[in-house]
Amino acid sequence: MARDVRPGETSKPGAERAVETGGGDEDLERRRLQLEAQLATRRPASRDGKDAQNPSSKTGFGNAIKLSSEFVAAIIVGVGIGWVLDQWAGTSPWGLIVFLFLGFAAGVLNVMRSAGMVAEHGTKPPSTKDGSG
């Protein structure tokens, strides 16, 4: 709600404001469509098709396990590396802390990748890759 109201509009009479917001909505709609089109070109093209094929996306339970396992796995690996590094270099607890955060970042990356929000490797434009990732 609050997003639609622009700062200058609050002092205007009701009728005029309605017209204003009507025009604003149209403008917003146009910009939203434009953004969507731009985002569509940046998103990995193959992902949508793959997700449509992939029947696991139809069961929410399967999806939940998929995403949570991706996230948790990266954190476990990060903590594992940090702990081993600490044992080896005697820097406890700094390795654990740093790699916990790196594991968290990797977990977020994993989840975004598996949800199809980020291209499989790096930020290459979709035209140069064949989509198989």
Partner 1 sequence: MRVANDPIHQFQISKLIPIEIGGLDFSFTNSSAFMAASAIAAAAFLYFGSANRALVPTRFQSMAEMSYEFVAKMLRDSAGSHGMKFFPFVFSLFMFVLFANLFGLFPYFFTVTSHIIVTFALAILVIGTVIVYGFMKNGLHFLKLFVPSGVPGILVPLVVLIEVISFLSRPISLSVRLFANMLAGHITLKVFAGFVTSLSAAGAVGIIGAVLPLGMTVAITALEFLVAFLQAYVFAVLTCMYLNDAIHPGH
Pick the closest to residue 5 from 18, 36, 15 (CA basis): 18
Rounded to 5 degrees, φ, ψ at 118 are -125, 145
Q: Tell me whether residue 28 or residue 76 sits nearer to partner 1 (CB atom).
A: 76
Q: How far is the CB of 59 from partner 1 (least distance, A)?
A: 8
Minimum CB separation of residue 102 from partner 1 in Å reads 6
Please name the amino acid found at residue 20. E
What residues make contact with partner 1 under the rule CB under 8 A?
Answer: 54-56, 59, 61-62, 65-66, 69-70, 72-74, 76-78, 81, 99, 102-103, 105-107, 109-110, 113, 121-124, 128-130, 132-133
Minimum CB–partner distance for residue 39 and partner 1 (Å): 18
The radius of gyration computed from the CA coordinates of the chain, to the nearest angstrom, equals 23
Closest CA to 123 of 36, 38, 43: 43
Instruction: State the nearest-atom distance from the C-beta of 37 to partner 1, in Å.
Output: 22
Based on CB atoms, which residue is closest to partner 1, 10 or 132? 132
Nearer to partner 1, 17 or 108 (CB): 108
Please, are residues 111 and 71 in contact by the beta-carbon 8 Å criterion? yes
Residue 40 or 64 with smaller CB distance to partner 1: 64
Sign of CA dihedral 45, 47, 48, 52: positive
